[in-house]
Structure 1
Amino acid sequence: MSAEDLEDYEAELELQLYREYRDVVGLFTYVVETERRFYLANSVDLKAHHDSGDVYFELTLRDAWVWDTYRTARFVKQVHVLSFKDVNIEEIAKSDLEPPSSLPR
C-alpha cells in the first residue's frame, strides 16, 4: 500500500466518522472534549481531585458516543476517563441543530 493509498483510506475513515457524528449529534445533550478524545453524552459527572499540589479530573459519561476513527463500536453505555489537563463540557443547544423554518430571501 502506497503512502497516497493510506492517506486516501484515512481521509475516507474521517469522512465516514464525520457523517456518523452529524447523524447522531441530535441524540445527545453534551459535547465533552478531553486531551485525548471527543465524546457526545447524555449524562456527565465531573470531579476534580487535588493530590499533592497536582490536579486531575475524573469524568464519568453515560449513554455516550466516542469520536474515534478506528473504534468499531462507538456507542458506549458508560465511559470513565481520567484527565490531567482541562476538560471542556458544553451543553448542546437543540435549536442549533435544527434547520431554519424559512430561508431568508
Structure 2
Amino acid sequence: MMSQDIEGYENNLELDLFREYRDVMHLFTYVVETERRFYLCNQVDVQVKPVGNDVFFELRLTDAWVWDIYRTSRFVKNVHVLSFKDVNIEEIAKSDLELP
C-alpha cells in the first residue's frame, strides 16, 4: 500500500468514529479526557493519589464509550484509568445535544 492509501484509510476511520461519537453522545452524562484517551461515560469516580511531591489520578468509569479507531468494540461496562497528567471531566448539558 502506498502511504496515501494508508492515510486515506485512517482518515475514513476517524470520520466514522466521529459519526459514531455524534450518534451515541446523547446516551452519556460525562465527557472524560486524559492524556491518552477520550471517553464518554455515565458515571465517573476520580481519586487523587499523592506520590511524593507529585500526584496521579485514578479514574473508574461506568458505562463508557472509548474514542479509539482501532478498538473493535468501543462500548465498555467498566474502565479503570491511571493518569499522570491533568484530567478533564465535563458534564454533558442536555441542551448541548440539540442539533440546529
1:12-91 equivalent positions in 2, closer than 5 A: 12-91=12-91
**Structure 2 spans left out of the alignment, 5+ residues:** none
CA RMSD of aligned residues (A): 0.7
**Structure 1 spans left out of the alignment, 5+ residues:** 101-105
TM-score normalised by the chain length of structure 2: 0.98
TM-score normalised by the chain length of structure 1: 0.93
Question: Counterpart of 1:20 in 2: which secondary structure?
Answer: helix
> 1:96 Cα deviation (Å)?
1.2
CA distance in 2, matches of 1:42, 1:63: 6
Runs of 4+ residues deviating >2 angstroms: none
> 1:53 Cα deviation (Å)?
1.3
1:69-104 CA distances to partner (integer Å, 9 max, x unpaired)? 00011000000000000000000000111135xxxx
Identical amino acids, percent of aligned pairs? 72
Larger radius of gyration: 1
